Amino acid sequence: MDVEARLAALETRLRAAEDHLAILNLLNTYGPLVDSATAEPAGKLWVDGGGYNFGMPDGGTNRLSAPDEIAGMYGWPGHVDLVNTGCAHLTATPKITVDGDEAQAVGYSFVVLREGERWFLWRAAVNHWTLARTGDGWRIVERFNRTLDGSPESHETMRKVLAI
């Protein structure tokens, strides 16, 4: 392999590493933003019109559009109560696959909640993110989030890790 071919291969590997790191940084920005009630920048982690699809406590589902509906969710009374109590939205390291200017990630997320002097795991979920490279860097196109409740839908989401 000549020097030019080695350089091209190295540039390809570096771009892949940079893409993975940028996606990890994007996904791990979410928690501190929503836990500090920084709603507008949290909504802008998505592309315009992108969505957040999640399960509701009553068993239904909801999909909010970015940026306004997603940012607005952080003003909902339930979310405000979490923030004022003390919480941490944690994104576990996902499996990421990049294909040009598009990417997918599958992984867990957790919400840790303070109750008096103790902290406990309040919610665990599995997530499937689709992402796109934009002029502003990587952004979320869709986040599909389901509680780890043993449902077929949560298991199906976990199995997406095999496909990416």
3-state secondary structure of 62: strand
Q: How confident is the model at residue 164 (pLDDT cuts 50, 70, 90)?
A: confident
- Report the percent of the chain where pLDDT is more than 70: 100
pTM of the model: 0.93
> What CA–CA distance (Å, rounded) separates 76 from 93?
27
Residue 1: the pLDDT is 82
- Report the percent of the chain where pLDDT is more than 90: 94
Residue 58: the pLDDT is 80
CATH topology of domain 3-162: Nuclear Transport Factor 2; Chain: A, (3.10.450)
Residues 42-69 pLDDT 10s: 999 999 999 999 988 788 899 999 999 9
Would you say 66 and 127 are in contact if contact means Cβ atoms under 8 Å apart? no
> What CA–CA distance (Å, rounded) separates 46 from 107?
18
> What CA–CA distance (Å, rounded) separates 38 from 75?
10
3-state secondary structure of 156: helix
